[in-house]
Each structure stands twice: as structure tokens, then as C-alpha cells.
Structure 1
């Protein structure tokens, strides 16, 4: 999967790999819900779900707790059942 993002007026190709997971993790730590939400909206729901699944548990928890971040139902249904359960517990 390739995601085309515009960062500081430059178009950047992100291969879905460890490097892109690191970008997402850094954005989570910076509380940049807008970047993550916009990125996920540009992706197929299964691709966004893959990213969520590749985050470690602490980063997933931080993502779900970000202000203004709402997980898209289409992304949620693509997640494996264990991670769905984890997210439901976090939202409860």
C-alpha cells in the first residue's frame, strides 16, 4: 500500500512499512489527531485497520484516547476481534 501525503507543501510517498508506522506513532505522541484522521480517511478501511493493528498496545490506547479522534466504523470492522475487544474496553 502506498499513501500519498502532503507535508509542508511537499508530496511524500509513504510505503506501508515500519517507517510509516513510526510516523503515525510520532503523530500520536504529538496528539496530532487531525493528521491521523485525515490519513485514515484517504486510505481503504482495511489499510487503516492494518496500521492500527501494527501499533503496540500503548500506542493504540493513546490513539483511541486522542481528542477529536474517532475510529471510523468501516475501519473498526476490519480489525481483528482481539483488537476490537481492546478498543471497546478503552471506549467504555
Structure 2
């Protein structure tokens, strides 16, 4: 699975999103594990008050490569690393709150 530094970085970026935007929450779960060294994780982002799903990121926990990403109806095909995708997500969220 993720090493502790990667896990701290990913969770820290997710917590940054929720700390900056109190109407957003997240959940992470394992979608696949072969029992050895291959794990696929899913991050889901939700918006209060209805826990409306606003994002889904699926990535390989071993190398950080993003398999699939959709956030607020947009697909991100530019970033392939989970940290880059989360940074892009923070930027998109900050821009949407600035415009609104």
C-alpha cells in the first residue's frame, strides 16, 4: 500500500481541501488488492448538506498513478500523479469559490 510519507501527503492535501471549504468532505477506500503488492484506492469527495458526490479519483497506491479522475463534471487528463491531481483539485475548488 501507500508508504507513510505518501499517505500523510495525500491525507494532508485532502484535509487542506476540507479545512479551506467546510462544505466538502472525503472518504478513501481500497477498491482492489491482490494480497501482495498491488492496491487500487478510491477517493470520493462530497459536498454538504446532502453529501452530494462531486469527485472521484482512482489511483494505484503503489506508484501514485491516477487511473481515473472526475471532479465537478470535468475529467482531468493532464495530471497522472495523485499529488498533482489533488493540487489541481485544490486549485479548481479555490477558483470555483472565488467566482461564486
Q: Name the one with the larger helix percent.
A: 1
What TM-score does the superposition give when structure 1 sets the normalisation length?
A: 0.25
What TM-score does the superposition give when structure 2 sets the normalisation length?
A: 0.24
Indicate the structure (1 or 2) with the bigger Cα radius of gyration: 2
